[in-house]
Structure 1
Amino acid sequence: MIPADRKQVYYQALIDKKSEYEGIFYVGVKTTGVFCRPTCPARKPKFENCEFYETAKEALLASFRPCQRCRPLSHPNHVSELVRKLVEAVEENPEHRWREEDFRRLSVDASTARRQFKKRFGMTFVEYARARRMGMALKQIRAGSAVIDAQLSTGYESGSGFRDAFSRIMGAAPAQLGEQRILKASWLDTRLGPMVAIADEQALYLLEFVDRRGLEREIERLRKRTKAAIIPGSTPPIESIERELTDYFAGRLTEFKTPVTLLGSPFQKEVWDQLRKIPPGQTTSYAHLAAGMGKPSAYRAVAQANGANQLAILIPCHRVINSNGELGGYGGGLSRKQWLLDHEKLGVAE
């Protein structure tokens, strides 16, 4: 049974269409007989006409049918057929430079593709395809090919145009990238909404919910700190964390093995190390963490280090709450923090 005060919170999230509540609750609308996800675009019902459920199964068992607009039985961030088709087309020929006739050949409306890619990936389709071409160009340059060869293979007749586009995406001109590190970024769908993972071939550097406030600045700081180019793609650590997150949300995993690289001050790293020692199903406070580190007066600095964590869930900053028992803050949203804590307590109980 969902408490009355939480129902009020869920209703406000429904009105505001807050994406951070995806997967946390479903709403059954008594006047229509349908149930929806929190971000449904349909007209909002009155509070007294709403029934709230924590799973789609509960809503179905209460005789509600799935809404045809928000499709609550599909993944909250299910990739559309159009997006899937275009991503596959790019992977078949990543060096191809897309033109209007290519969209017509696939019976795809270019403006629709632009809109759907912008919503899904935060970039238009043309920008996505360009990033993949640039990734191929970088691979050629690092393998010893001349810049002019990489330029022509990616469809740029103008050397200056190639350099400008390359620099915007990679963060440096092509001639400067011979030894530059490469990080790859991938979109991961999870039970609580989409996350972005950034890694090289050896370790994971960042894992955050896509709608986290300030994520763009966080990624830019990562790029500057590592002096790396960040391009779309996947690596073994990204594939590993995707598998582990699936098992974690299914209740089959409590300890993550994906290798990580921590970028922070010695004090921040010490805090993050302490966070990883908090067992699943348990919580602690900033003051208790600080005391455990032998620095009882540094609880504010501990809180700041907690907020600087770039590896959500893996470094479990969600297990830190206020000394008075209140949740405190969480970059991914308090609703997710509560869900994660409840999920881990349930796993321990089982």
Structure 2
Amino acid sequence: MNTRINSGTADFATVTTAAGPFTALVDAEGAVLASGWTADAENLRGLIHTTLRPGALRERTELGRVTTAIERYHAGDLTVIDSIAVRQVSGPFLVHAWEVLRKVPAGEPITYTDFAAASGRPAATRAAANACARNAAALFIPCHRIFRTDGTLGGFRWGLPIKQWLLDHESH
């Protein structure tokens, strides 16, 4: 179904972090719909599945638990993001793969091949990479913890320097 069923308003806030500005959009229940290292909330809104995409955005100075988690993560509390609710929709494999991503421990990145196997489809490395590429809720679904089999970083919507910063941050 590609019909927009959410014409409501999402709140967003931008936090200054060591890796750059980080913006999160949340729904009325406080679940993260989209997030990333950008100050462009409208761009983030466009990443949200059409069935969840809000019709309007409202800027806030902070988003309660979400803002606290962003600040604490960047300050070194690497597990604080694990308890933040995220709302994304797609097909069954992508939804499952995003759940698997949330279980990859900080400081223990894995390859796309390992991620595919952990997602139950060991031969589906490209599908696993697609799950990372389609993830709208960066940080809270830590797709930055996946790298290529040859040890290189692979892609990252927010740029390889930020991905490297995150991996370095989590390895200390």
Report the Cα offset of residue 211 of structure 1. Answer: 6.8
Match of 1:222 in 2: 48
One of 192, 209, 212 as aligned partner of 2:19: 192
Q: Which amino acid aligns with 1:339?
A: W
1:121-270 to 2 correspondence within 5 Å?
180-202=7-29, 203-210=31-38, 216=42, 218-220=44-46, 222=48, 224-226=50-52, 228-234=54-60, 238-256=63-81, 257-270=83-96
Inter-partner Cα distance in structure 2 for 1:343 and 1:255:
14
CA contact (8 A) 1:185 1:230 kept: no
Q: Which runs of 5+ in 2 are unaligned?
A: 1-5
Match of 1:331 in 2: 157
Inter-partner Cα distance in structure 2 for 1:285 and 1:227:
31
Taking a change above 3 Å as real, the CA distance of residues 281 and 201 of structure 1, as seen in their structure-2 partners, is same
Report the Cα offset of residue 260 of structure 1. Answer: 1.7
The TM-score, its normalising length taken from structure 1, stands at 0.43
Inter-partner Cα distance in structure 2 for 1:281 and 1:221:
27
CA contact (8 A) 1:180 1:229 kept: yes
Inter-partner Cα distance in structure 2 for 1:205 and 1:227:
8
1:70-128 CA distance string (max 9 Å, x none)? xxxxxxxxxxxxxxxxxxxxxxxxxxxxxxxxxxxxxxxxxxxxxxxxxxxxxxxxxxx
Taking a change above 3 Å as real, the CA distance of residues 241 and 218 of structure 1, as seen in their structure-2 partners, is closer
Inter-partner Cα distance in structure 1 for 2:128 and 2:55:
31
Report the Cα offset of residue 253 of structure 1. Answer: 3.9
Inter-partner Cα distance in structure 2 for 1:197 and 1:254:
18
Higher RCO by CA contacts (8 Å cutoff, separation 6 or greater) = 2
CA contact (8 A) 1:186 1:198 kept: yes
Taking a change above 3 Å as real, the CA distance of residues 310 and 240 of structure 1, as seen in their structure-2 partners, is same
1:193-228 CA distance string (max 9 Å, x none)? 11221112211111112178xx85552353743253
Taking a change above 3 Å as real, the CA distance of residues 302 and 255 of structure 1, as seen in their structure-2 partners, is same
Report the Cα offset of residue 296 of structure 1. Answer: 1.7
* SS in structure 2 at match of 1:304: helix
Q: Which has the higher helix share?
A: 1
Inter-partner Cα distance in structure 1 for 2:49 and 2:105:
32
The TM-score, its normalising length taken from structure 2, stands at 0.84
* SS in structure 2 at match of 1:267: helix
Report the Cα offset of residue 261 of structure 1. Answer: 1.0
Inter-partner Cα distance in structure 2 for 1:294 and 1:259:
23
Q: Which runs of 5+ in 1 are unaligned?
A: 1-178
One of 90, 101, 106 as aligned partner of 1:275: 101
Q: Which amino acid aligns with 2:126?
A: R
Taking a change above 3 Å as real, the CA distance of residues 182 and 247 of structure 1, as seen in their structure-2 partners, is same
Q: Which amino acid aligns with 2:169?
A: H
Match of 1:304 in 2: 130
CA contact (8 A) 1:223 1:230 kept: no
* SS in structure 2 at match of 1:280: coil
State the percentage of identical aligned residues.
Answer: 32
* SS in structure 1 at match of 2:124: helix
Taking a change above 3 Å as real, the CA distance of residues 310 and 221 of structure 1, as seen in their structure-2 partners, is closer
Taking a change above 3 Å as real, the CA distance of residues 221 and 244 of structure 1, as seen in their structure-2 partners, is closer
1:155-190 CA distance string (max 9 Å, x none)? xxxxxxxxxxxxxxxxxxxxxxxx942212222222
Inter-partner Cα distance in structure 2 for 1:249 and 1:187:
14
Q: Which amino acid aligns with 2:13?
A: S
Q: Which amino acid aligns with 1:273?
A: E
Q: Which amino acid aligns with 1:270?
A: H
